[in-house]
Structure 1
Amino acid sequence: MAVPESAKGYAVNTSQWWAAPEEEETPELQWPKNVRVFDQMRRQDAQVVSTLRAITLPIRRTTYRIDPNGARDEITQHVADNLGLNIVGDSGRPVLRTRNRFSWTEHLRLVLTMLPFGHSFFEPVYRVENGKAHLRKLEWRPPRTISKIDVAPDGGLIAIEQFSAKPGEKDPRIEVKNLVAYVNDREGGNWLGQSAIRPAYKYWLLKDRALRVQAQTLDRNGMGVPVYTASQLPDNLDSTEYVKRQNEEIAAGLKIAKGLRSGDNSGASIAYGAKIDMKGVEGDLPDADKPIRYYDEQMARAVLAHFLNLGTETGSWALGSTFADFFTLSLQTVAMQIADVTNQHVIEDLVDYNWGPEEPAPKLVFDEIGSRHPATAESIARLADAGAITLDDPLEAHLRNQYSLPAADPSSARERTTKTQTGQTPTPARSEPEQRPQGSWPGS
């Protein structure tokens, strides 16, 4: 049986890809106009801002480390130094100075812009020192600067192009080998991705309109609408003079009504027999609060952040905790995607440049986001007594990481002593560290 080495079908029709993204039916959300819309949403609306922060801040807050993953110590150390991260089991090692170096924290913040925009592209820049390539920075290519994305028929990324920075210059083109692409919910050849706040757009738009109407309602009806009634003119005027004087008084009264404002020095002077009244709305005004709250709830639901609606949509704390746990799982998935792209296109590329593609590479890992709590000393002791776990060095390294303790140093380890019940001289609890029986805990 012949092994298939090429595909006959395609994932994207490249001849139509940039002409009309048929996946999006709303004109203002078709690329590249949607970049401006999503930017407005993430900056202007408090609910959208809080929803995005609910997604991004836990991902940014969790601890990231470099797992050796079978790589040599030299390679693991080089990757950890370049990314400014600690190695798993070696949290006590000081991180190199960050000046003029790559910052993982800043990179992660910009990576997460893929959630509102759908994509976030970076161009790696290296420096060569002592015969080794070092990651100097991953330069962000903002979505608003991208003019074109070249996609292969099989859906693979070929290159991106940016608008030229200066008039008359050729648009910069960055090939895929020099790109790190983070794309949210990519399908086939859609390297623009899907915005996490796309389902919230219609609610954001309706809420914006409702807020404007509500503001106008308060502005127009908070004090009332001034209405001027002209005075009764003498009956001995002929029709022409009567109409003239009536129009003049009405015009003067309109000017007074339009200029009427509340304040310490406000007032009006009108002719004898004329009247000026503050007319309020007859009947009930439309209640804009309910639809505005509904739109806020739907925007939170768009990213599974139901717990943000506690007190409005639901008052059950137990139900809110369930929502929060489910939301946490979605954050885990986003963080896993980020780690996967970083491993493939940042860490492995760095190892390839220095040691070749056949060399095992370490990987980026992160602490679990959410409700899982670190194991206590009591629970560890009970599991060990029950024989459920083995007290070994990897477990010690894990617990040291959980409690932010320095890495173990056998050369400076001290013997722990215990006092007898009779108050006699303390006796050593164990002998030399290297004589510890298999499965025993250090210091026990």
Structure 2
Amino acid sequence: MVGPLTTEKGYAVQNQLFWELEDGEDTPELRWPLNIPVYDRMRRQDAQVISVIRAVTLPIRRTEWRIDPNGAPPEVAEFVARNLGLPLMGSTLEAPMRTRGRFSWQEHLRHALLMLTFGHAFFEQVYQYDGDRLNLRKLAYRPPLTISRIDVASDGGLVAIEQHGTTGKTDPRIPVDRLVAYVNDREGGNWLGASLLRPAYKSWVLKDRGLRVESQTIVRNGLGVPVYEASETPVGLPADDIKRRQDEEMEAGRKLAMAYRSGSSAGASIPHGAGLDLKGVSGNLPDARKPIQYYDEQIARAVLAHFLNLGGDDTTGSYALGDTFADFFTLSLQTVANQIADVTTQHVIEDLVDLNFGEDVPAPRIAFDEIGSRHPATAEGIRALVECGALTADEPLEGFIRTTHGLPDHDPDTARTRPNTPAAPDDPGDDPPVPPDTKEQT
């Protein structure tokens, strides 16, 4: 009974070379690898697109990341924390004297979040042997444009990736045991994932066309079109002279109209009876601003960032509704951060522990503060925490308060004695105080 239960009969991918498969994309320019330059152009050229990307990524990068020992031995937890440059949960991490040549979690996190833009982000594990253990030197980012092939097993598992070879070299092949793969919305063996910008592509294209039309409308109709009207033909001229005179004047008028420019020295000289007018469009010009605003709303809606549309021109909406949108958006960020933490724990931390301590040793995990949970420390809040005993008024706390509020550093030579604090109330266990003498009432 054990054999059939441990062997897969079905499959997730028919062809082990995923790059030869159709990914179900109907739009030709969004089929891999043609979609990579498209998404790159979207984030670099459109203010709304880069705004929604930063709205998703910056809070995740801003939150505090830590190493949770998770039952691992202290030596293992400290080793992992030192390699990733992150503090252990419940303690602080001493910053290294030099950071060159060391792994940077913030830099890795920034590249890992590119999976939201392109659908995937692959990294190659690179270690450095110090004579005792293998230390994580870096997780080398492998940009999507450099990837030429993705090998996938029949069960949907990742086998390897290949990159385009450089001049005179063969295509580099990186096996899965050296890879860390962050994939957005992966389904089955689709290790290309799905870009967060895919639902916004249509709105982006139509918005781009609308902006071009609006720009052309301003250029062509902002000043008006110069129109030259020839003067009347004198009476009594021969027919040949009339035709020649009309042609010459019309040609001169055409050049005058085409060369007309506004400015402090602009002007024109025309024959008696001729006319030079600036003609505008009759009727109403097309209003491209409303469609453009609609497309911006749809781009933000694609990433659940509805609150980005509140407060703009000609927009309506309550602040309470904006808070609801922001809360729901924050929950979506928690999901993205959880995915990154899960992949990092499985394919970075556990690999690091396996290589140095063995596969039977418990491994720590990476954790992060809840996004949006940090509140600024005010003077009143700190005072209340100290008075209730939750905080101790020590030197580090004083240094924090001075730095936060822009106060000068503590100078022990000129420090003044603090005023005496009122005496503490009597202990409830002591005898009650004797009341003063009172006259006996008769």
TM-score after normalising by structure 2:
0.82
Instruction: State the alpha-carbon separation in 2 of the partners of residues 13 and 238 from structure 1.
Output: 88
Q: 1:341 aligns with which of 340, 343, 348?
A: 343
Contact 2:128-2:134 at 8 Å conserved across structures = yes
State the Cα deviation string for residues 252-290 of structure 1 (Å, max 9, x = none).
322222221111122233334332210011111121111
- The answer on whether the counterparts of 1:82 and 1:134 sit within 8 Å (CA) in structure 2 is yes
- 1:354–1:422 distance in 2 versus 1, CA, 3 Å: closer
1:186-243 Cα distance to aligned partner (Å, 9 max, x none): 1111111110111111111111111111111111111111112233334555555544
Amino acid at match of 2:200: A
Match of residue 350 from structure 1: 352
2:99 alignment counterpart: 98
CA contact under 8 A between 1:81 and 1:95: conserved in structure 2?
Answer: no
Q: Percent identity?
A: 61
Amino acid at match of 1:184: N
1:295 and 1:111 map into 2 onto residues whose CA distance is 28
Alpha carbons of structure 1 residues 12 and 380: separation in structure 2 relative to 1, 3 Å: farther
Between the aligned partners of 2:232 and 2:279, the Cα distance in structure 1 is 21
Per-residue deviation at 1:99?
A: 2.0
Q: Deviation of residue 85 (structure 1)?
A: 0.6
Amino acid at match of 2:149: K
Task: State the match for 2:114 in structure 1.
Answer: 113
Instruction: Give me the whole-angstrom Cα distance separating, in 2, the residues matched to 1:16 and 1:125.
Output: 25
Q: Deviations over 1:333-370 (max 9, x none)?
A: 00000011111111111111111211111110000002
Residue number in structure 2 paired with 1:331: 333
CA distance in 1, matches of 2:272, 2:165: 70
Q: Offset at 1:373?
A: 5.5
Amino acid at match of 1:142: P
1:290 paired to 2:290: yes
Cα distance between partner residues in 2 of 1:121 and 1:334: 16
The one-letter code of the counterpart of 2:67 is: I
* Alpha-carbon separation, structure 1, partners of 2:237 and 2:75: 107
Q: Say yes or no: does 1:227 pair with 2:243.
A: no
Structure whose CA Rg is larger? 2
Q: Distance in 2 between matches of 1:379 and 1:154?
A: 58
Partner SS for 2:292? helix
Q: What SS does the aligned partner of 1:269 have? A: coil
Q: Is the 8 A contact 1:85 1:95 kept in 2?
A: no
CA distance in 1, matches of 2:245, 2:173: 74
Match of 1:414 in 2: none
Distance 2:53 2:75 in 1: 39
Segments of 4+ moved more than 6 angstroms: 374-381
The farther-off stretch of 363-372 and 46-55 is 363-372
Aligned Cα root-mean-square deviation (Å): 3.2
State whether residues 349 and 363 of structure 2, in contact with CA within 8 Å, keep that contact through their aligned partners in structure 1.
Answer: yes
The equivalent of 2:124 in structure 1 is: 123
Matched, 1:174 2:174: yes
Residue 173 of structure 2 aligns with an amino acid whose one-letter code is R
Task: Give the 3-state SS of the residue equivalent to 1:86 in structure 2.
Answer: coil
Is 1:277 aligned to 2:254, yes or no? no
1:78 to partner: Cα distance: 0.9
Could you tell me whether the CA contact under 8 Å between 1:163 and 1:172 is conserved in 2?
A: yes
Cα distance in 1 for partners of 2:347, 2:243 equals 83
Q: Could you say which residue in structure 2 is the equivalent of 1:320? A: 322
Match of 2:364 in 1: 362
